[in-house]
Amino acid sequence: MGSKRQFRIWRGDETGGDLQDYAVEVNEGEVVLDVIHRLQATEAPDLACRWNCKAGKCGSCSMEINGKPRLGCMTRMSTFEEAETVTVTPLRTFPVIRDLVTDVSFNYEKARETPAFAPPADVAPGDYRMQQVDVERSQEFRKCIECFLCQNVCHVIRDHDENKPAFSGPRFFIRASELDMHPLDTRTDRKEYAQSEMGLGFCNITKCCTEVCPEHIKITDNGIIPMKERVVDRRYDPLVWLGNKIFRRGQVPQTSATSGHSSGAVTTGAAHRGVHSHAGGSHDSGAERQAQQGVNWQREVPHPTAPAVDANGRLPLTELTFDRAAAPSPFGDDVEFPLPAEHLNFAHPQQDEPKH
């Protein structure tokens, strides 16, 4: 009943590595993690891979399967064609330790920076009273199994290590949101804190995080957007808005981040070049060459793009509150076409070979 299926699995460590081919027996009803276990038990006993519950509850076996961030235990082999080669690579946003295991300590650092639940001082244990309808909103976010797939897929930090100090990521936005909606949490500045200290403004709602969430938490719709909207509600001043609209102020990319580290990170990013990187690339030919080969996950990554924010440091939620018609250009609004040739990041496969 089993059949041989083709796998390509990235093997290596922080010094580099490559995709290795394996032909593995796959039985009916198996998932990708079963196949990895079979490889460990047979031809690759030292293949490193995290896992625990194998039931989609602990969020340990996060990996990229055919380029998509997924849980190995939740990816059924029946979703692939019989002849399809399944490519498994480590999470790209975090540094590789070995094979499929990455250093996810970034997430634990961010968890520590997120202010904890602040219990009401005058309510004794046992006297907490809350209505089901009120706890349900936070409960959605507490379903999070911390697989960090949302963090991995988020383009603010994927390939943008330099944004990491200032950006907590979707996992911790919903943590902030959860506490914000907690009926008995006494801290009142969760939204402002998310905006000023956690880098909420970097998010431009592409919903990639929601798409990869194995718990189907509506990270963007129910967590991030309401936080952004409420930040807007509180800070919204119609006169300022009108002034911006008329005088077209504030077209320099910036955020409203007030803390030293976050504003610092953004200004250095923007000041270095003044050109958005989507158009430019990193100007580091070595890094670009590695990027072209596509297998060194530790490569130097292109420089960051600050989001196109308005004068108040926020992303436009709708065209109405933005200072130009239509959506921001995916290349950055300050880019003119055609692009200057030296800023293109295309590298010809044979560019380094001697010309005959």
Partner 1 sequence: MTETRIERHHYDVVVIGAGGAGLRAAIEARLAGKKTAIISKSLFGKAHTVMAEGGAAAAMGNVNSRDNWQVHFRDTMRGGKFLNNFRMAELHAKESPQRIWELETYGALFDRTKDGKISQRNFGGHEYPRLAHVGDRTGLELIRTLQQKIVSLQQEDKREFGSYDARIRVFSETTITELLLDGDRVAGAFGYYRESGEFILFEAPAVVLATGGVGRSYKVTSNSWEYTGDGHALALRAGATLINMEFLQFHPTGMVWPPSVKGILVTESVRGDGGVLKNSDGKRFMFDYVPDVFRKQYAETEDEADRWYTDPDNNRRPPELLPRDEVARAINSEVKAGRGTPAGGVYLDIASRKSAEEIQRRLPSMYHQFKELADVDITKEPMEVGPTCHYVMGGVEVDPDSGAAAGTVRGLFAAGEVSGGMHGSNRLGGNSLSDLLVFGKRAGGHAATYADQLTARPAVSVAAVEAAVETALAPLQRDTGESPYQLQQDLQVVMGDLVGIIRREGELADALGRLAELRERVAKVSAVGGRRYNPGWHLALDLRNMLVVSECTAKAALERQESRGGHTREDYPAMDPKWRRVNLVCSLDGDAVRLTHKPLPAMRPELIGLFDRAELSKYLTDEELAEFDARTEEER
Tell me: does residue 139 bind partner 1 (CB under 8 A): yes
Tell me: does residue 197 bind partner 1 (CB under 8 A): no
Candidate ranges 38-46, 86-94, 280-288, 312-320; the one touching partner 1 (CB under 8 A)? 38-46
| Ranges within 276-315 binding partner 1 (CB under 8 A) | none
φ/ψ of residue 75, rounded to 5: -110, 100
Task: Tell me how long the chain is.
Answer: 356
Tell me: does residue 126 bind partner 1 (CB under 8 A): yes
Q: Is 304 exposed, middle or buried (0-12, 13-18, 19+ CB in 10 A)?
A: buried
Token pair 């580290």 is found at 261
Q: Give whichever of 68 and 142 is closer to partner 1, judged by the CB atom.
A: 142
Residue in 146, 161, 192, 300 binding partner 1, rule: CB under 8 A: 146
| Distance of alpha carbon 37 from alpha carbon 24, whole angstroms | 11
Per-residue x/- track, 159-188, partner 1 (CB under 8 A) = --------------------x--x--x---
> Minimum distance between the CB of residue 278 and partner 1, rounded to whole angstroms?
33
Residue in 130, 242, 295, 327 binding partner 1, rule: CB under 8 A: 130
> Minimum distance between the CB of residue 219 and partner 1, rounded to whole angstroms?
16
Burial per residue of 14-32, b for 16 or more beta-carbon CB atoms within 10 angstroms, e otherwise: eeebebeebebebeeebbb
| Distance of alpha carbon 230 from alpha carbon 212, whole angstroms | 25
Tell me: does residue 25 bind partner 1 (CB under 8 A): no
Tell me: does residue 111 bind partner 1 (CB under 8 A): yes
As a whole number of angstroms, the longest Cα–Cα distance in the chain is 83
Tell me: does residue 125 bind partner 1 (CB under 8 A): yes
Q: Give whichever of 112 and 355 is closer to partner 1, judged by the CB atom.
A: 112
> Minimum distance between the CB of residue 160 and partner 1, rounded to whole angstroms?
23
> Minimum distance between the CB of residue 100 and partner 1, rounded to whole angstroms?
9
Tell me: does residue 145 bind partner 1 (CB under 8 A): yes
Q: Give whichever of 186 and 268 is closer to partner 1, judged by the CB atom.
A: 186
Candidate ranges 154-162, 164-172, 211-219, 335-343; the one touching partner 1 (CB under 8 A)? 211-219
Q: Give whichever of 40 and 87 is closer to partner 1, judged by the CB atom.
A: 40
Distances (CA, A) of 58 to 55, 79, 148: 8, 22, 11
265-272, long-range: CB within 8 Å, 24+ apart, which pairs?
265/162, 265/163, 265/165, 265/166, 266/166, 266/306, 268/162, 269/162, 269/163, 269/303, 269/304, 269/306, 270/306, 272/303
Pairing mode, if any, of strands 96-98 and 101-102?
A: antiparallel
Task: Return the axis-axis angle of helices 225-235 and 170-181, rounded to nearest 10°.
Answer: 60
Residue in 3, 23, 53, 344 binding partner 1, rule: CB under 8 A: 53
Which one, of 102, 111, 295, lies nearest residue 198 by Cα?
A: 111
> Minimum distance between the CB of residue 281 and partner 1, rounded to whole angstroms?
33
Residue in 19, 135, 232, 317 binding partner 1, rule: CB under 8 A: 135
Contact at 8 Å (CB) between 277 and 303?
yes
| Distance of alpha carbon 200 from alpha carbon 309, whole angstroms | 12
Candidate ranges 199-207, 214-222, 232-240, 258-266; the one touching partner 1 (CB under 8 A)? 214-222
Burial per residue of 101-124, b for 16 or more beta-carbon CB atoms within 10 angstroms, e otherwise: bbebebbeebeeebeeeeeeeeee
> Minimum distance between the CB of residue 60 and partner 1, rounded to whole angstroms?
5
Residue in 138, 196, 256, 305 binding partner 1, rule: CB under 8 A: 138
Binding site for partner 1 (CB under 8 A): 13, 27-31, 34, 40-41, 45-60, 73-74, 76, 78, 97-99, 101, 103-104, 108, 111-112, 114-117, 119, 125-126, 128-132, 135, 138-139, 142-146, 179, 182, 185, 214-216
